[in-house]
């Protein structure tokens, strides 16, 4: 049985993750972590997630419960994720990271830590999105430079980072298939006299509102036709189930940086 710690237990994803761990075969909740000053400290994690009492109290310090879990799952915020990464590295525990919006320095820390302990990092743990990434690579490689590509994403009003981690992964997938470096070709805003579109550019458009769980469309605009490849998430269980699957997969694997495509065997 793999014992899992859920970091960010009181959040939208944290609650879905506790429920997913509880429902998963081969996994059990070992610990639930929130901010040390959170009003949730001491409450029962199962009751918090609406799955009934589990006898796991919410704790404010991952290091203090290192003997109660094998793999941690972190869906919090970048600074908290990096702090939890340092604890997992020091204690030799695996970490599954769902937090998006990491900057380049934070990503470099993640790469460095993964030399010492196993880390799975993905901007989206749903199976559907990871299959969509393969479809995008196929479409981009087939269209080549004959189309203009833009990514449109919509999320709930509480989301704090933009573009979404998923949109960026989609951009990386099409850029990679086309031999482009996303850093060189990404366009994150258009306003005023922009001039005509450059074929090599990959544009990102962001919508925020209501309770939208996650909606991503990649447009391939050609002459006389266009293709849209869209993924719509209608609940958070698909992200949570994927992250728990990744945690079970990670247990016992060698130290390295993995992503959800490794977990699903989608890397060619």
Ligand X SMILES: NC(=O)C1=CN([C@@H]2O[C@H](COP(=O)(O)OP(=O)(O)OC[C@H]3O[C@@H](n4cnc5c(N)ncnc54)[C@H](OP(=O)(O)O)[C@@H]3O)[C@@H](O)[C@H]2O)C=CC1
**Residues contributing to the site for ligand LZUJQKHR (CB under 6 A):** 100, 123-124, 155, 159, 164-166, 214
- Name the minimum Å distance from CB 165 to ligand LZUJQKHR: 4
**Of ligand X, ligand LZUJQKHR, none, which one does residue 57 interact with (CB within 5 to 8 Å by kind)?**
none
Nearer to ligand X, 22 or 81 (CB): 81
236 assigned ligand-binding residue: no
In the complex, the smallest distance separating the C-beta of residue 67 from ligand X, rounded to whole angstroms, is 19
Q: What is the DSSP string of 148-214?
A: EEEEEEEE-TT--SSS-HHHHHHHHHHHHHTT--HHHHEE----SS--SPPTT-EEEEEEE-TT--E
Closest to 155 (Cα-Cα) out of 196, 209, 101, 222: 209
Query: Which member of 84, 93, 159, 231 is catalytic?
Result: 159
Q: How far apart are CA 169 and CA 218, in angstroms?
A: 11
Does residue 35 bind ligand X (CB under 6 A)? yes
The response to whether 98 counts as a known ligand-binding position is yes
What the block records as the tokens of 223 is: 């002459």
* Nearest CA among 167, 97, 184 for reference residue 132: 167
The angle at the Cα of 21, spanning 19 to 25, to the nearest 5 degrees, equals: 125
3-state secondary structure of 137: helix
Distance CA 225, CA 247 (A): 42
State which residue, 65 or 80, has the beta carbon closest to ligand LZUJQKHR: 80
Q: Note if 231 is an active site residue.
A: no
Shorter beta-carbon distance to ligand X: residue 33 or 202: 33
- In the complex, what is the shortest distance from the CB of residue 104 to ligand LZUJQKHR, in angstroms, rounded to a whole number? 17
Using CB under 6 A, pick the residue from 18, 20, 21, 33 that binds ligand X.
Answer: 33
Please select the residue that binds ligand X; options are 3, 70, 85, 99, rule is CB under 6 A: 99
- Order across the sheet with 186-187: list the strands: 186-187, 202-208, 148-155, 214-221, 226-233
155 is catalytic: yes
Beta partners for residue 202, in sequence order: 149, 186
Task: Consult the annotation and say whether 100 binds a ligand.
Answer: yes
57 binds ligand X (CB under 6 A): no
Q: Assess 120 for contact with ligand X (CB under 6 A).
A: no
Of 5, 260, 34, nearest in space to 134 by CA: 260
Residues noted as catalytic: 155, 159
User: By the criterion CB under 6 A, which residues form the site for ligand X?
Assistant: 7-8, 10-14, 33-35, 38, 75-77, 80, 98-101, 122-125, 165, 239
Binding residues for NADP(+): 35
């Amino acid at each position: 049985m793999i014992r899992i710690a859920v970091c960010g237990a009181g959040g939208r994803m944290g609650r879905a993750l506790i429920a997913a761990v509880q429902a998963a075969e081969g996994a059990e909740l070992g610990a639930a972590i929130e901010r040390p000053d959170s009003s949730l400290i001491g409450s029962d994690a199962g009751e918090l997630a609406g799955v009934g009492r589990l006898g796991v109290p919410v704790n404010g310090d991952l290091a203090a419960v290192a003997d109660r879990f094998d793999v941690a799952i972190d869906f919090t915020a970048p600074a908290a994720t990096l702090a939890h990464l340092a604890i997992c590295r020091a204690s030799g525990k695996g970490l599954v990271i769902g937090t998006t919006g990491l900057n380049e320095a934070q990503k470099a820390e993640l790469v460095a830590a993964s030399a010492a302990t196993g880390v799975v990092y993905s901007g989206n743990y749903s199976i559907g999105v990871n299959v969509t990434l393969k479809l995008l690579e196929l479409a981009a490689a087939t269209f080549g430079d004959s189309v203009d590509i833009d990514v449109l994403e919509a999320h709930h009003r509480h989301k704090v980072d933009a573009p979404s981690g998923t949109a960026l992964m989609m951009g990386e997938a099409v850029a990679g298939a086309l031999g482009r470096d996303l850093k060189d070709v990404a366009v994150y805003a258009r306003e005023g006299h922009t001039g005509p579109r450059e074929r090599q550019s990959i544009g990102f458009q962001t919508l925020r509102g209501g309770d939208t769980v996650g909606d991503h469309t990649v447009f391939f605009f050609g002459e006389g036709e266009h293709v849209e490849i869209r993924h719509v998430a209608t609940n958070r269980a698909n992200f949570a189930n994927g992250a728990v699957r990744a945690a079970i997969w990670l247990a016992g694997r060698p130290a390295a940086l993995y992503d959800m495509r490794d977990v699903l065997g989608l890397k060619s």
